[in-house]
Amino acid sequence: MTSASDAAHFPAPSLPEIAFLGRSNVGKSSVINSLVGAKLARTSNTPGRTRSINFFEIRRAGHPKPELLFTDLPGYGFAKISREISQDWARFVDPYLTERPSLALCFALIDSNIPPQSSDRQLLEFLAATKRNHIIVATKCDRLSGSELQKALRTLGQEYAPTPIVPFSAKTGTGKDDLWARILHSISNFPVL
């Protein structure tokens, strides 16, 4: 739909929006592509490639009109690019998360393969402070064995309780139905603007 790196360029709020947040390289663009079953958002091996808020109109199969938007946000948490990221955060990420009236649900993506990071904790505290509806998506779970994944989910649960956690893999599709159910639930309760 559009790509905005300044709050003045956000599209006028209309449909409910689902935001995808998390460290650079955690798999935000990949989760979006997996949910829609198409290469909508650009993915990359280079952390920090998404540097604006990308708004995508989402129309469900069999439905005549778009019903919601996905917003792909820039990542954070890599020292090399942290100065620019903090400027982005002040200029358009913070205003988006705190003020956007159409924001229905935030997915906070956390890599299930790495130990809890202070940057993730900051994001979760920020979301709790804004009182936004939010859910943790534990990404790249295909890289862990069953018992490793259970352990990782326990650690995340202890770290971020009571936020719900959904294990996810863009590779295998694990968690896709669960995320869609949560998306549809959040937009069904969302006041019409």
Q: Which residues bind ligand GTP (CB under 6 A)?
A: 22, 24-30, 43-45, 47-50, 75, 139-140, 142-143, 169-171
Q: Which is nearer to Mg ion, 112 or 153 (CB)?
A: 112
Min dist CB 26 to Mg ion, Å, is 9
**Closest separation in Å from C-beta 12 to ligand GTP:** 25
Choosing from 25, 50, 102, 169, the residue that interacts with Mg ion (CB under 5 A) is: 50
The three-state DSSP-derived secondary structure of the chain is: CEEECCHHHCCCCCCCEEEEEECCCCCHHHHHHHHHCCCCCCCCCCCCCCCCEEEEEECCCCCCCCCEEEEECCCCCCHHHHHHHHHHHHHHHHHHHHHCCCEEEEEEEEECCCCCCHHHHHHHHHHHHHCCCEEEEEECHHHCCHHHHHHHHHHHHHHHCCCCEEECCCCCCCCHHHHHHHHHHHHHCCCCC
Q: Tell me, residue by residue from 10 to 49, as one string, x for binding to Mg ion by CB under 5 A and - for no binding.
A: ------------------xx--------------------
Dihedral pair phi/psi, residue 151, rounded to 5°: -65, -45
102 binds, among ligand GTP, Mg ion, none (CB under 5 to 8 A by kind): none
- In angstroms, the CA 28 to CA 46 distance is 13
Q: Which does 54 bind (CB under 5 to 8 A by kind): ligand GTP, Mg ion, none?
A: none
CB of 69 to ligand GTP, least distance (A): 17
Please report how close the Cβ of residue 14 comes to ligand GTP at its closest, in angstroms: 25
Q: Which residue is nearest to ligand GTP (CB)?
A: 75
Cβ distance to Mg ion smaller for residue 50 or 169? 50
Rounded least distance, CB 63 to ligand GTP, Å: 26
Please tell me the number of Cα atoms within 13 Å of 156 on its side-chain side. Answer: 26
Q: Give the footprint of Mg ion on this chain (CB under 5 A).
A: 28-29, 50
